[in-house]
Amino acid sequence: MSGEELVELTIGPVAHGGHCVARLDGRVVFVRHTLPGERVRARLTHAAPDAKFWRADAVEVLEASADRVDSPWPQAGPGGVGGGELGHVAPAAQRVWKAAVLAEQLRRLAHDDREVTVLAAPGDLERGGLAWRTRVDLVADDDGRAGMRVWHSHDVHALTSMPLATEQIAALDLFERSWPAGARIEVAAPASGDHAVVLVEGEPWDLAHDRVDRRATATRSVREQVGPHTYRVAADGFWQAHRSAPAVLVEEVLAGVGDVAGATVADLYSGAGLFTVPLAGAVGPDGAVVAVEGDERAVRDARRNAHDAPHVRLVHGDVGRVLRTSDEVVHADVVVLDPPRTGAGRTVVADVAALAPERVVYVACDPAALARDVALFAAGGYVMERLHGLDLFPMTHHLEAVAVLTRSGRSDG
């Protein structure tokens, strides 16, 4: 079939990745921009004759779900940019969608059958799931207009707005300016309201004069406030994008580790120290936090952020290699694990289990990776006692989850 051909489909259940499942002449088709139970006309986007499954975008709704709404960001609709693929779904139904995906991945990959709830972040209900992104990554098209790439394409689609960005970013008028053609544009605007930083091809940009800021004092980092803690983070380094995510995740992690006064906590994939800093306060001066991170720049940020905590040891290196080949982490009462989207994997999970922590607090940004790692931990004698799903990416299929695993099934209720 031609990739431009329109087909009529009856839509089945949601699937991981922002799609729903349909069937066409017995072949599985993953369809974006639709909802379970709908009947749609869809454009096939990936339909090679020998492919195991096809992909499609719903372009016309013939029978609509009660959960369908007008998208607040039509430019992320069919044929548009990525990053807003659930805009057509009512906000409450988005969380039901994500809960179903998380539950299905746990059931299929970890043989863990449980009810799952995904909670909204503070303020999102009032804002309708909009104005949450404090970090935005754009690219200029050939005419110098800021935009994003079309889903699964290298083509740049010029934008007129980005409703997911915070008010501070919206005030920068990014889509009314002319940028160097083809340039990457990165924006970081702290939720605390501190100054925003714009980088073009990694260089600070002077918005007042629309040019690279060549002053020696040009800013490349931002100040983030999370509860009582202040962080300095590289503007193009990793930081949670949702305005409320850092505080929500710190609260979840501290609740998950429990009373760790005087304990040793390993903070793996520790980044700029989002969890390291509050964990240092939780263990107190008689305890220890060993933070391991592979990105050298993030470790430099963490060193500044934890400079007044002598009982914190920062280790730069690949987490798996550090656990296997060094004596930096030989024991941990508790492990906080915040791996990349691909998950920790078999080797790292085995290395963590070898530390014999009483509990592991796992922060996950991909439900399939979490489910695979939960299964691996189960084989090593750990039981998932608690799981909280968090909708920290409204209007997209992404979600965060925080799982607490205890050794030999020990639970504090």
Give the domain-ending residue among 234, 257, 290: 234
Q: pLDDT (tens digit, 9 = 90+) per residue, 299-309?
A: 999 999 999 99
Can you give the residue range of the structural domain that contains 54?
1-67
Tell whether the model's pLDDT for residue 217 goes beyond 90. no
- The pLDDT value recorded for residue 199 is 97
| Pair 341, 197 in one domain | no
Tell whether the model's pLDDT for residue 412 goes beyond 70. no
Among 289, 365, 370, 392, the active-site one is: 365
| Pair 194, 279 in one domain | no
- The pLDDT value recorded for residue 347 is 97
365 is catalytic: yes
| Pair 142, 113 in one domain | no
Of the pLDDT bands very low, low, confident and very high (cuts 50, 70, 90), residue 410 is: very low
In a domain, 382, yes or no: yes
Handedness of CA 107, 110, 116, 118 (dihedral sign): negative
- The pLDDT value recorded for residue 152 is 86
Q: Give mean pLDDT, residues 132-151.
A: 97
- The pLDDT value recorded for residue 293 is 98
Q: What's the structural domain count of the chain?
A: 3
| Pair 166, 284 in one domain | no
In a domain, 78, yes or no: no
In a domain, 73, yes or no: no
In a domain, 86, yes or no: no
- The pLDDT value recorded for residue 91 is 97
Q: What number of other Cβ atoms are within 10 A of residue 230's Cβ? A: 14
Q: pLDDT (tens digit, 9 = 90+) per residue, 158-198?
A: 999 999 999 999 999 999 999 999 999 999 999 988 889 99
Q: pLDDT (tens digit, 9 = 90+) per residue, 359-384?
A: 999 999 999 999 999 999 999 999 99
Q: pLDDT (tens digit, 9 = 90+) per residue, 22-53?
A: 999 999 999 999 999 999 999 999 999 889 99
CATH number, domain with residue 319: 3.40.50.150
Tell whether the model's pLDDT for residue 411 goes beyond 80. no
Tell whether the model's pLDDT for residue 279 goes beyond 90. yes
| Pair 170, 291 in one domain | no
Q: Give mean pLDDT, residues 253-262.
A: 98
The 3-state DSSP class for residue 374 equals helix
- The pLDDT value recorded for residue 406 is 97
- The pLDDT value recorded for residue 369 is 98
- What are the distances in angstroms from CA 236 to CA 116, 173, 198, 233? 34, 20, 9, 8
Environment class of 117 (CB within 10 Å of its CB; exposed 0-12, middle 13-18, buried 19+):
middle
| Pair 261, 399 in one domain | yes
Mean predicted lDDT score pLDDT of the chain: 95
The Cα–Cα gap between 95 and 401 comes to 12
| Pair 281, 382 in one domain | yes
- The pLDDT value recorded for residue 218 is 85
Strands 359-364 and 54-63, by their bridges, are unpaired
Tell whether the model's pLDDT for residue 350 goes beyond 90. yes
Environment class of 39 (CB within 10 Å of its CB; exposed 0-12, middle 13-18, buried 19+):
middle
| Contact yes or no for 65/88 (Cβ under 8 A) | no
In a domain, 53, yes or no: yes
Residue with tokens 């707005």: 161
